[in-house]
């Protein structure tokens, strides 16, 4: 389930994988999104302006926090990260500011049409990660979870 520790960890690894696969697009979306939600930008801890390398390093760093005993903080940081990227994707979509694709035009159009669903999913992931962070704190960590 999304609002469980295994579900949250899976989502964090999935987000990290997405960042590694297309760091340039993620950094571009993050840069656009931080204009709309500066609080989440600060919480996520990505430098301003973010480079592709910096978003990868930040995603890795956030995930490492899970293994350093800061599970709730890592969950909230990845939630903030996802929220800023979602805002950036929404802004790119609204402005028609999607980077040209090296693929055929049809694939580029399909990618453009998939953005609203990606934005919705990222927003839902952010909410789920925040909910698990709250549960983690409420139950006193792993022992009470």
Q: What angle, rounded to 10 degrees, do the helices at 71-95 and 52-67 form?
A: 150
138 exposure class (CB count in 10 Å sphere: 0-12, 13-18, 19+): exposed
- Residues 82-131 have pLDDT tens digits of 999 999 999 988 887 555 555 556 666 777 788 899 999 999 999 999 99
pLDDT for res 127 = 97
Among candidate residues 68, 130, 136, the one with its CA nearest the CA of residue 144: 136
Contact between 63 and 74 under an 8 Å Cβ cutoff? The reply is yes
Mean pLDDT of the chain: 89
CA–CA dist 81, 15 (Å, integer): 9
Q: Is the pLDDT score of 44 beyond 60?
A: yes
Contact between 110 and 102 under an 8 Å Cβ cutoff? The reply is no
Q: What is the CA radius of gyration of the chain?
A: 15
pTM of the model: 0.85
CA–CA dist 110, 58 (Å, integer): 29
pLDDT for res 69 = 85
Instruction: Work out the number of other CB atoms within 10 angstroms of the CB of residue 52.
Output: 15
């Amino acid at each position: 389930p999304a609002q469980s520790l295994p579900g949250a960890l899976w989502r964090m690894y999935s987000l990290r994988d997405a960042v590694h696969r297309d760091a340039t697009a993620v950094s571009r979306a993050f840069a656009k999104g931080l204009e709309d939600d500066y609080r989440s930008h600060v919480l996520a801890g990505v430098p301003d302006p973010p480079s592709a390398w910096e978003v990868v390093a930040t995603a890795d760093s956030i995930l490492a926090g899970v293994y350093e005993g800061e599970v709730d903080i890592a969950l909230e940081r990845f939630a903030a990260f996802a929220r800023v990227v979602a805002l950036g994707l929404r802004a790119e979509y609204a402005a028609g500011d999607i980077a040209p694709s090296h693929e055929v035009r049809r694939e580029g159009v399909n990618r453009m049409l998939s953005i609203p669903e990606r934005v919705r999913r990222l927003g839902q992931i952010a909410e789920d990660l925040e909910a698990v962070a709250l549960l983690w704190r409420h139950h006193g960590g792993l022992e009470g979870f």
